[in-house]
Amino acid sequence: MFNIYRKHFNIFLRIIIVFWVGDFTIDMITMYLIKSEPTQLMFLPTYRILPYLFLFIFVSGAVSYASAQIYLDRNITAVQTLRHTWQRYSTLIGCTIIYALVATGLVITCIGIPVAIYFFIRWGLHGLPILVEETTATTALRRSTELVKGTWWRVCGIITALLLIYHAIQLITSTSIISLLFLIPGAVEIPQDADMLQTINVIVDPAPHHVGWIVYTVRTCLTNAIETLTLPIPAIGSTLLYYDLRIRKEAYDIEIQATNERTTQQE
């Protein structure tokens, strides 16, 4: 996973820069709207979270598709990757919504949490059949089920490891930035009447009126950059897992070899 990221960093960088620009823009617009009209705070999920999720799904999908083409030793550019992902985006969003609704619905019931975890892993590879095999949403969920069947615990362990690596890197680097920010005299202003929860919120996720627009912009720029640079890690890892399962269950490596031989003969 890290070897692929390092060797093909240029193409991944051209893809994830879309996420950095988009996420930074969304954050700035959201904070400006809330500052201009504080009553708009109740609409924060609409302004911030939904656009972020749509952007995250798109860029993660593009990274997964690029990883798949790199794994198959095919030449592809960032523009081609983004274009292909955009063509499959509506299907990808639809499948993700189904995936999220089922998992969320089960979690809300509390008793259904173990079942939610089961489906979270079982359908966890739904994006790759959509992007690589160009299937429908329902077929993608079925394909993910077929690939994970019989190896659920192994897949669960790998996906958990990917998520832990992803969040650990983000946590360490983000904490470092926050610590450096507090070393700047007067950079952060904590209200005197703030309780413990408010103080933690100011430290972890300060608003512009806590740190000033300049410090807030710099902090947001850096934290978004960290999130952007770590975004390919779970996407690349999931792609490798997808092909690993296809090789184990469908002898896909033999199919790839046969296809390459036919291509060589035609040339």
For residue 87, how far is the Cα from the chain centroid? 19
H runs (alpha helix) in the chain? 2-7, 9-36, 44, 50-71, 78-87, 89-108, 113-122, 127-128, 137-148, 152-182, 196-204, 208-211, 213-230, 232-250, 252-266
Per-residue pLDDT of the chain (267 residues; tens, 9 = 90+): 999 999 999 999 999 999 999 998 888 888 777 766 655 555 555 667 888 999 999 999 999 999 999 998 888 999 999 999 999 999 999 999 998 888 777 777 767 788 888 999 999 999 999 999 999 999 999 999 999 999 999 999 999 999 999 999 988 887 777 777 666 655 556 656 666 666 666 666 666 666 677 777 877 888 889 889 999 999 999 999 999 999 988 877 676 665 555 555 555
Domain ranges within the chain, ordered by starting residue: 2-266
pTM: 0.84
Closest by alpha carbon to 46, among 26, 61, 60?
26
- Estimate the crossing angle of helix 50-71 against helix 78-87, to 10 degrees: 120
